[in-house]
Amino acid sequence: MTDRLVIIGAGQAGFALSAKLRMLGDMRPITMIGAEPEIPYQRPPLSKKYLLGEMTFERLTFRPAEWFVENKVELKLSTWVDAIDPAAQTVTCRGGEEIAYGTLAFATGSTPRRLPAAIGGDLKGVFVVRDKADADCLAVEMKPGRTLLVVGGGYIGLEAAAVARNLGLDVTVIEMGERILQRVASRETADAMRAIHESHGVTIREKTGLVRLIGENGHVTGAELADGTTMAVDLVIAGIGASANDALATAAGLATSNGIVVDEYARSSDPNIYAMGDCAVLPWKGAQVRLESVQNAIDQAEAVACLLVGGTEPYRPKPWFWSDQYDVKLQIAGFNLGFDETLVRPGSREGSRSVWYFSHGELIAVDAINDAKAYVTGKRLLDTGKITPDLAILADPQADLKQLLQ
């Protein structure tokens, strides 16, 4: 028997789990196995400042390489886990190495959906943005005057569109749904973000799907769209969502459903195996959800660390998220799943505003566009359970939001 903690995935959640355990003074052996060659690093800048060339890779890493040595966290990089055996409590890496565990943690993240090869998704010049290698390959292609087509109007696609405009590319975003950000935000937030992109010269075409990409000599040169038009393109970014990396867990017989199903203690259907971050499906107000965010990856992993040293607290997510596009900071507190009403409050700066989401009269989330005060207030209200704020104050742009916290 071993008390070794094996973490599959050396990203945000994997790192947070090991760091928190060491912070709590727990010195059990830890082996963290990651498919990528880099030491653990944060992803959000990959579609923002890193892609723009304003941030070096050193600033993306959570800790320098020495931290892992000093803290006795064994890192196995460029290593793919091929299988796990819950009965024998082992993981098998590609190449055959077998590692025994006492506790296993899945922190395997998610994989961006790619455009199918049958419609040209395998042509050169077609990108996704998930890891450093993706961003590095994309960055060298982002040359002024080139034409970029972004397929999918979600956060990552819109952030990449903003970077590309800043770098002088011609940018079109197509979204097959009714509108951009349809899955994640209200119409009001989408309208605001669309206006910001259009004011920067991005063409946004909603209700417009991709029929196929056209290629010449293996490189993308054009796109045929569902509205019957074609356009010439030099580059394509697919921002069409991501699926949880749960195949290993499924193959090992754990409960999965577009993610590894966990309870409020982040425990999978095997009590020795936890899952956290993008790969986990967790209970949320009676539903099963996947929260793809830095907040969830860190907080869920830290909750597991506390449990492993004898804690008893369940993980209760307090979601927050952000997206940077041009000089606009969109900050989101809460989770708007199931909202039935919104209230828009203009902010004090030009262009700033906030969208407040309600479900059955209770506040569940806030989107704040260049409006830090609204974000902080909304987050505080949600964290403290003051979810029936005075709507008269909220709707009055002259009223001080602080009153809601009293």
Residues that bind ligand FAD in the complex, under the rule CB under 6 A: 8-14, 33-36, 43-44, 46-47, 80-81, 107-109, 129-130, 156, 245, 248, 277-279, 292-295, 297, 321-323
Q: Are 183 and 153 in contact (CB under 8 A)?
A: no
Work out how close the CB of 255 gets to ligand FAD at its nearest, in angstroms, rounded to a whole number: 18
Work out how close the CB of 104 gets to ligand FAD at its nearest, in angstroms, rounded to a whole number: 12
Nearer to ligand FAD, 160 or 225 (CB): 160
CB-closest chain residue to ligand FAD: 11
Nearer to ligand FAD, 163 or 225 (CB): 163
Nearer to ligand FAD, 277 or 334 (CB): 277
Nearer to ligand FAD, 36 or 222 (CB): 36
Q: Are 188 and 355 in contact (CB under 8 A)?
A: yes
Nearer to ligand FAD, 8 or 181 (CB): 8
Compute the distance between CA of residue 124 and CA of residue 297 in angstroms, rounded to an integer.
Answer: 32
Compute the distance between CA of residue 263 and CA of residue 271 in angstroms, rounded to an integer.
Answer: 10
Work out how close the CB of 49 gets to ligand FAD at its nearest, in angstroms, rounded to a whole number: 11
Nearer to ligand FAD, 59 or 207 (CB): 59
Helices 12-23 and 294-308: angle between axes, nearest 10 degrees: 40
Work out how close the CB of 50 gets to ligand FAD at its nearest, in angstroms, rounded to a whole number: 9
- Strand partners for 205: 174
Joined tokens for residue 388: 């029936």
Work out how close the CB of 394 gets to ligand FAD at its nearest, in angstroms, rounded to a whole number: 25
Nearer to ligand FAD, 13 or 126 (CB): 13
Work out how close the CB of 389 gets to ligand FAD at its nearest, in angstroms, rounded to a whole number: 25
Work out how close the CB of 395 gets to ligand FAD at its nearest, in angstroms, rounded to a whole number: 29
Work out how close the CB of 167 gets to ligand FAD at its nearest, in angstroms, rounded to a whole number: 16
Nearer to ligand FAD, 85 or 341 (CB): 85
